[in-house]
Amino acid sequence: MDLTIDSHRQDSKRLSAALKLIRKDRNMLAAEVAAKMNLSLSAYEKFENGRIRLNTEYICRFSKVTGSDRRAILLSVMLGSPGIALYASRSHLIAALLVCFQEACEGSSHWLAGVDVRDALAVFRNAFRQLQDTSEARKAQAVELLRQDPQVAIDARKIVGLSGGGPKNPFPD
């Protein structure tokens, strides 16, 4: 079998899995996403089921409709991990990383060529451990607040935009 064809099939399967994870996480029906993307249900289903070639325009439209991160969707396909699209889209982490990288590249970026990959990995691993610790501490605080006052949960969902079509993207195009 041609490796290129096999690679395209794998990419289609990964993209399909990522799209379905996000859509279901947002509690959206395929017909709803199709309508908001200005696609027929049939065209959307072909896109979501990986029966067409990877289409970046559709991915951008999908990400706007679902409040997800198109960069995370594409990265999940490249890394072979559809879950990355879901989890990174919830926090827009890939967009945040790219903003930081862009800021590092502005001005005098020649120093980037001299960065040892081992140093970069150590820094990134430490940063992700810190993010994990911060996230877990915030979750514990939220659980305690909810235990004290269940009305907080309803108010918090409204504030962060979780009622009706997914969270808002803090990194608009």
| DSSP class per residue in 24-60 | HHTT--HHHHHHHTT--HHHHHHHHTT-S---HHHHH
Angstrom CA distances, 121 to 8, 25, 116, 126, 140, stand at: 30, 31, 9, 8, 28
Residue 171 is predicted with a pLDDT of 46
Rounded Cα distance between 38 and 160, Å, is 26
> Average pLDDT in the 89-102 region?
86
Per-residue pLDDT tens over the stretch 98-117: 888 888 888 777 888 888 99
Q: How many other C-beta atoms are found inside a 10 Å radius of the C-beta of residue 140?
A: 10
Q: Where does the pLDDT of residue 4 fall: very low under 50, low under 70, confident under 90, or very high at 90 and above? A: low
Residue 151 has pLDDT above 80, yes or no: no
Poorest-pLDDT segment among 55-69, 84-98, 111-125, 154-168: 154-168
Number of H helices, E strands in the chain: 9, 0
Residue 108 is predicted with a pLDDT of 72
Q: Where does the pLDDT of residue 26 fall: very low under 50, low under 70, confident under 90, or very high at 90 and above? A: very high
The full set of domains in the chain, from first to last, is: 3-97 (1.10.260.40)
Q: Where does the pLDDT of residue 157 fall: very low under 50, low under 70, confident under 90, or very high at 90 and above? A: low
> Average pLDDT in the 16-22 region?
95
One-letter amino acid identity for 4?
A: T
pTM value? 0.71
* In the block, residue with structure tokens 């608009």: 172
